[in-house]
Amino acid sequence: MKKTVFTGAGVAIVTPMNPDDSINYDVLGKLIDIQIENGTDAIISCGTTGESATMTPQEHVDVLKFTIDRVNKRVPVIAGTGSNETAFAAQLSMEAERLGADALLIVTPYYNKTSQEGLVAHYNYIADRVNIPIILYNVPSRTGCNIKPETYVKLAKHPNIVATKEASGDLSAVAKIAALCGDDLAIYSGNDDQIVPVMSLGGKGVISVLSNVMPKLAHDICAEYLNGNVKKSAELQLKYLDLINALFCDVNPIPVKEALNLMGVNAGGCRLPLYPMNEANKTVLKNALLNHGLIK
């Protein structure tokens, strides 16, 4: 059985921006501390929610280094190092390991995509060049590339490939992955509205957007389930389903950054091509935040 990177709720943390679109490290540091103080089980840096797609390579490395140093081993830091160029993903992964990352989150190749055989070659190329665990990241709605359950079986044979973040939304596929891979591959929900269903199929927790605004809640949904309080876990997820959905009423991370700003946290805006929310979506988000006492 492979070692689990973490159990519970890991936050796919936002990258705060200044008005000139530079990275706001002061706010990032405060957000990291707030997350850990409120029970977050891992910090995922430079993922989709962290806007890694619009970072320069140097910014990417700088944000990872800052996060690793700020966390200072209080919880695991998982570095987003995926790319649609295999050699660059491997280079970035090796640099993240050198900086002290505890694990890597590597999204499937996007835009150019690849075949299932190509996915195996891509991930094995990277995994052969690092000595820390890799969490695969399957989000076909954003990448146009889907990891099939049978392909997971092949990928899980590599000792460094230990888990997946499943954001396909396909619970039938998650069930098949769990059945085929067993203890060779841990599964994390990549969707906050599916934490309990994925954990019911053996999942270890969630890599969460919700955690950015309610870290204790995301942690508690997982902790209650892991402690055998399935009913309580489900009740928490359902109680906050309107907020979970509101955080995805526009392209992630537009709504979660807007939510943090409304809550008084200076997360700033998103870099283009992500664009500010329209008023209709902003109303949906505000109503959900009001409903749960996060703003007045």
Residue 116 CB neighbours (<10 A): 14
Distance CA 38, CA 33 (A): 9
Q: Are 31 and 13 in contact (CB under 8 A)?
A: yes
- DSSP per-residue string spanning 17-75: B-TTS-B-HHHHHHHHHHHHHTT--EEEESSTTTTGGGS-HHHHHHHHHHHHHHHTTSS
Q: Are 46 and 79 in contact (CB under 8 A)?
A: yes
- Catalytic residue from among 65, 123, 137, 257: 137
Cα 69 off chain centre by: 19
Distance CA 211, CA 34 (A): 11
Q: Which two tokens stand for residue 113?
A: 């995509």
240: annotated active-site residue: no
2: annotated active-site residue: no
- Catalytic residue from among 65, 165, 204, 257: 165
Residue 45 CB neighbours (<10 A): 30
Distance CA 211, CA 228 (A): 21
Distance CA 282, CA 279 (A): 5
In total, the chain counts a number of residues equal to: 296
Q: Largest Cα–Cα distance in the chain?
A: 52
Q: Which two tokens stand for residue 232?
A: 């309580």
Q: Annotated active-site positions, please?
A: 137, 165
